[in-house]
Structure 1
Amino acid sequence: MITSIWNVKGGVGKTLTSINLAAGFAKEGKKTLLVDMDGQSSVSYLLFPEREFEYGDLTIVDALAGTGEISECIYHTNIENLDVIPATIYLFTVEKQMLVNTSSGIQQTKLKKLLKKLQGYDEIIIDNNPSINLCTTNALCACDRLIIPADLEKGALKGIELTLQHSQEILENIDGANFEIRILPTKIQRNKIDTETLEELKTVYGSMVYQTNIRYQAAPIKDSSMKGRMLINDMKSRSKVAQDYRDLVAEVLQEEK
């Protein structure tokens, strides 16, 4: 199963969801690959805190540019069953070049063709930039499932609407694109506004919305990032957000059965 994590609205917990969903799959014994398709390289920085990928290192940039085999761009993490294809800021340059070449008609499915070359992975997670660009289009064309992390701040529903609109355009206009869409409420706080917005979200989108909600808890998230460890492995009772991600992994895997 290939899953893309994307929302045109930034700051919704996209990368946090990508990393913890991938780590959760790996913990459940699923051979998992996490693909960084964001030139900001947040996934790469967080999973390899002591290493900075630079020009010359084989990354998703080389795979898309054709200067390296995708199998050579895979790096093992210190988490059993979890591998990563990192990104660098040069991804923005490659995306620009791909945009120039769209007349050839194959640029939107480059990533899909590359991932088909890989064998042995049960789950592939693609983390994306919030922009609507050719990289995110590639990620959507390659995936079986799109998860839209959505916080409940002002503009949340509009962000979902725009994300769904672009996703639907891809499903309708690009041959071979075929993915289900799910919405993951994130950064939930115990207040009247969030409660009402969450109910509105469920009313509008119904079964598209996961039962699992990711609560807002800044301290555990910051602590796990600074110490380079997986939030999902935090078994402390105070880390409710870690439990939420464990619940999400269980819900997603149950649906795959």
Structure 2
Amino acid sequence: MAPLLPPRPPRRHRYPGRLPADDRAALRGIVYVLGKSVSWRDVPAERTGCSGITAWRRLRDWTDAGVWPRLHELLLAELRAEGLLEMDDAAIDGSHVRALKGVHTGPSPVDRGRPGSKHHLIVDRHGTPLAVTLIGGNRHDVTQLLPLLDVIPPIRGLRGRPRRHPRRLFADRGYDYDKYRRILRRLGITPKFAHRGVAHGSGLGKTRRVVERTFAWLHQFKRLRIRYEIRADLHLGLLPLACSIICLRKLRTSF
């Protein structure tokens, strides 16, 4: 992660002030909040090595610099190089989370109209997160189908062109629209969507279960279960960080 961090401003030669907190300590503070969902002022400095305010500022600066998506892209490339990424089949879905404040919210239809947001996720055959987006809780899932495909990074790791799109895309009946089926076919993607009006038991559940399992992994990070951040970009910065940790766990267990 170190080569991805933005350069620090040069220190003054005269009266330089206090030394900045270590980047590793700031990352520990960010991951502590991501996992425990404590407020930033309650981050234990004796445990992480920096204050919660410092960790929040580094999260803001690193999010503005685009560190988290690039970190996720590098880990996906390592997974592909190790043969642990299978992008021929992919699954997509959305999940509601309660939002206490901030933008990218809307009256959630599954939470009595309370303000909420939606995480939209696309995963490979094994449930590895490829991309994630954030929208208001009152937006339809199908509106994020094409934007989510657009934010999949160019995944390297093997000789040849980077991989961007899967060959087959599995989704529930909320994505069953002829317009989007035609668009996917023009992109070279075969849509495998459940049909509206058909009784449950289409057989796609055994393929789509991987995206539900990845949502369970993602929401094990307690900070993502309820959206506390006012700024949508900060919450959207925590999402690829959590995806990167999931990818790192897959790499570690492969050794």
Question: What TM-score, normalized to structure 2?
Answer: 0.27
Question: What TM-score, normalized to structure 1?
Answer: 0.27
Larger radius of gyration: 2
